[in-house]
Structure 1
Amino acid sequence: MNLETSQAVFKFNINYNIFNEGTLALPIDLPGFVFRKARLAVTLLVEILANCVEQSKNKVQSGVEPVCLIDFWMQQLLKEIQESGSESHEVPHSSNIEIGGHLFDFLFAAQDASTSSLLWAVTLLAQNPDVLSKVRQEVSQIWSLDSGKLITAENLREMKYTEAVAREVMRYRAPATLVPHLAGEDFQLTESYTIPKGTMVFPSVFESAFQGFTEPERFDPDRNILGSVPVYKRNFLVFGADPHQCVGQRYALNHLVLFIAVFTSLLDFKRHRTDGCDDIVYVPTICPKDDCLVYLSKR
């Protein structure tokens, strides 16, 4: 990530923790309140990431080969700027600070949400040994460590049941339970109530996932296999919908499918169960109360 110095890393960690605390606080934007501290922390985080962008641009311009996602991004950006014949400041969305803001969004979405899904995947597989057995059977027919080969994108596409498990993990325990939206116009929600234009609305992604499904409280990957049961896409809002659909949807699903395939193939695991270990905690995405403590052993 080009955070070259330990001081920068320390500063980033401190401010990211402050930001996380702010997502759980009341939105009171006044001095001394957690929300204000979080908002200021975001500014510092974006500045640190903007510095990473600047370093990456300089490295790419000097002819050093790209080694990370930012480098490849900057390489393509600088190529487009050069081909356009424009100055870098004239090209939209190319400033260091704006790219730093996008990187912050990527980090928050990728780190917190993905971590939540990984924890719940292990938790739910431990609770459902029949599902775990089916996953292992499917993966073993497509890939094995002994093959000496990496899992390819084609392999992932063949893991239909494992993907169904990944989708059910996200439905059953949606990482981001609330996604704020601003009403762009008056919206009639019910016969008796219309949401006024300009209202901040917090639809519950979590609750919607338990509506419109047969036995929604049951963890059932089969519901996500096309042709087996009706799939209620309008209630599966983990990644949003229509123009607001998450651009990282396919990446997130592939990441979770890959994790499940590798984790279940290489390791045996047993949950360290305690009272309330499966309770939901908000950090700000949701995780098991015990952070999913498991005993691991090589298969």
Structure 2
Amino acid sequence: MQLTAVAPALALLLLALIFIRTKLKSRTSRPNLPPGSLGWPVLGASLELFRANRDGNPGKFVRDRIGKHGSPVFKISLLGERMVVLCGPAGNKFLFSNEGKKVALWWPTAVRRLIGTSLITKVGDEGRSDRKMLMSFFNPEALMRFVGTMDEVTRHHLRTRWQGRECVVRTFSSRYEQTAHIALTLAHCEGKDQVEAYPTLRLYTFELACRLFMSITDPQLIVRLADHFQVFHKGLISLPLDFPGTRFHRARRAADSIREELRALVRQRRTELEKKLARPSQDIMSHLLANGDENGNLMPEAEIINNMLNFLFAGHDTSSSTLMLLLKYLAELPHVLDKILAEQREIAASKGPGELLQWDDLQRMKYSWNVLCEVMRMTPPVVGTFREALVDFTYEGYTIPKGWKLYWSAAVTHEDPNFHPRAASFDESRFEGSGPAPYSYVPFGGGPRMCLGKEFARVEMLVFLHNLVNMFDWDLVIPGEKIIYDPMPTPVKGLPIRLRPRGLRRGLSGS
């Protein structure tokens, strides 16, 4: 009887000893994890991150935890993953310079499932090979060829989508404009002097990406694809819950529709290439179809479709957000707009009637580019991205276990007063001379995985800015309109602006 009574107690003691030994062993093998809490299972702090984005202050999510833990390195659980956040230029330098060694690019489940195997999800030798194959379309020599086309498309877009009451005294420059956009233009002529800038800019940058990356000019197809992408991009940074009513489910269905459209275009282009009705060098789609990797292997059709989906998405979303913010800041800072206008008018004065912009013209837009850089510092188009630990390593005295995910924040980096004095104030002069310190300005990321389209975005935004300020002045219809991250910076009301043809004094209505 006594033995029977003692047995349960001995069993409990044994289990306790095993538990303690396991914990001690765990602490010995991973002796010094960063401070922080993993929070709720699966959810972790994901809902708090989403809430900070909806509040338009994504940096606060990280700053609050830096203050709480007294460390710029802390652990957390996000999007179902154990994660370490590395803050500031030192963290950025470590991650960017250790790409492929200690860390590798990583994306949340929602991104990987929606985009599939493509350039942005590949790592290691495969990723480097694809990146090398596509560099020829994003180097300065290639972009020089794009400038005239960008200028032409931008002028057409501003005439047909932004034209105000002054259109009644203007003439159409082509039969295409007269037939395809007559209804829209008449609506403006009847008194519509306002434009919702953000959705209009999204359509502009998307149309440009369609034309330059895939030679798509059919306006109905462009609008149809743009509508699908509007749904698609909202599910990228979400919990991958695939049932009706969730953002991820809607985004997955939109991605299926996009792939269906792209599949038809890819197969049509393959036929055109075989019949020599298309050139292998005319755009990215032809290039991927006609050229193999370093070993001569052609890219599978499904992967080409995924890459085109990715390029159409990445080629317009961040640029349209930055241009929207540019309009907002310039309306609020007339002295900055006046300096931009002086620079752009000088360039316009050097051009002949109807002459398009050239590469050399863009190199003269130094002040304008400084302003755009400060816009991206104040409100980075991408809050930050992720990496994965390839091995156990130590950073700032803390152990980061293999397989854990890492996150760096552009928003927090750009707010650091040690590198950006008066960080809350708009100051384009930060970018004069050598500009900010290395790794302290990271809107395009850094290291081997720096955004491939950085120079493309620069050209696109400068061409648009040149034409916009020479054609229009504008006011904000809703001063102080709230900007949220969804997942890019997004105005809650679309940033409606009141347009006036350039020449009218600021403050007058365009009557």
TM-score range (shorter-chain normalised) is 0.7 to 0.9
- 2:281/2:287 contact within 8 Å kept: no
Once structures 1 and 2 are overlaid, which stretch shifts more, 116-125 or 265-274? 265-274
| Cα deviations by residue, 1:36-68 (Å, 9 ceiling, x for unpaired) | 5534643553343233212112123223246xx
Q: Secondary structure at the match of 2:381?
A: coil
Change over 3 Å in CA distance of 1:182–1:47 after alignment to 2: farther
In 1: Cα distance, 2:282 partner to 2:374 partner: 35
- 2:229/2:313 contact within 8 Å kept: no
Matching of residues 168-187 of structure 1 within 5 Å: 168-187=374-393
User: Residue 296 of structure 1: CA displacement?
Assistant: 0.8
* Displaced runs of 4 or more, over 6 A: 3-9
Letter in 1 for 2:437: Y
- 2:285/2:308 contact within 8 Å kept: no
Q: Secondary structure at the match of 2:439?
A: helix
1:218 and 2:425 are equivalent in the alignment: yes
Matching of residues 34-45 of structure 1 within 5 Å: 34-39=247-252, 41-45=254-258
In 2: Cα distance, 1:7 partner to 1:74 partner: 16
Partner of 1:126: 331
Letter in 2 for 1:180: F
Bigger radius of gyration, 1 or 2? 2
In 2: Cα distance, 1:78 partner to 1:41 partner: 24
In 1: Cα distance, 2:483 partner to 2:222 partner: 33
1:247 to 444, 449, 452: 452
Higher relative contact order (CA 8 A, sep 6+): 2
Change over 3 Å in CA distance of 1:15–1:235 after alignment to 2: same
Once structures 1 and 2 are overlaid, which stretch shifts more, 39-48 or 153-162? 39-48
Q: What TM-score do you get using the length of structure 1 for normalisation?
A: 0.82
In 1: Cα distance, 2:222 partner to 2:324 partner: 28
Q: Which runs of 5+ in 1 are unaligned?
A: 85-89
Letter in 2 for 1:236: Y
Number of residue-to-residue matches in the alignment: 283
| Cα deviations by residue, 1:122-149 (Å, 9 ceiling, x for unpaired) | 0011111111111111112222497322
- 2:384/2:409 contact within 8 Å kept: yes
Partner of 2:469: 264
Question: Cα RMSD (Å) of the superposition?
Answer: 3.0
Q: What percentage of aligned pairs have identical amino acids?
A: 25
Q: Secondary structure at the match of 1:94?
A: coil
- 1:47/1:100 contact within 8 Å kept: no
In 2: Cα distance, 1:29 partner to 1:78 partner: 34
- 1:45/1:104 contact within 8 Å kept: yes
Partner of 2:494: 291
Matching of residues 46-61 of structure 1 within 5 Å: 46-61=259-274
User: Residue 5 of structure 1: CA displacement?
Assistant: 11
Q: Secondary structure at the match of 1:180?
A: strand
Partner of 2:303: 98
Letter in 1 for 2:409: S
2:370 to 153, 164, 171: 164
| Cα deviations by residue, 1:202-240 (Å, 9 ceiling, x for unpaired) | 32111211122121111111111115xx52230211111
Partner of 1:72: 283
Q: Secondary structure at the match of 1:179?
A: strand
- 1:167/1:253 contact within 8 Å kept: no
Change over 3 Å in CA distance of 1:17–1:256 after alignment to 2: closer
Change over 3 Å in CA distance of 1:36–1:111 after alignment to 2: same
Once structures 1 and 2 are overlaid, which stretch shifts more, 243-252 or 147-156? 147-156
In 1: Cα distance, 2:452 partner to 2:313 partner: 14
In 2: Cα distance, 1:4 partner to 1:141 partner: 35
In 2: Cα distance, 1:72 partner to 1:246 partner: 19
- 1:267/1:296 contact within 8 Å kept: yes
Q: Which runs of 5+ in 2 are unaligned?
A: 1-209, 211-215, 503-511
Partner of 2:321: 116
Q: Secondary structure at the match of 1:115?
A: helix
In 1: Cα distance, 2:489 partner to 2:498 partner: 22
In 2: Cα distance, 1:23 partner to 1:76 partner: 27
Change over 3 Å in CA distance of 1:52–1:265 after alignment to 2: same
Change over 3 Å in CA distance of 1:41–1:74 after alignment to 2: closer
1:200 and 2:401 are equivalent in the alignment: no
Partner of 1:62: 275
Once structures 1 and 2 are overlaid, which stretch shifts more, 91-100 or 69-78? 69-78
- 1:156/1:254 contact within 8 Å kept: yes
Change over 3 Å in CA distance of 1:22–1:263 after alignment to 2: same
In 2: Cα distance, 1:43 partner to 1:198 partner: 30
Q: What TM-score do you get using the length of structure 2 for normalisation?
A: 0.50
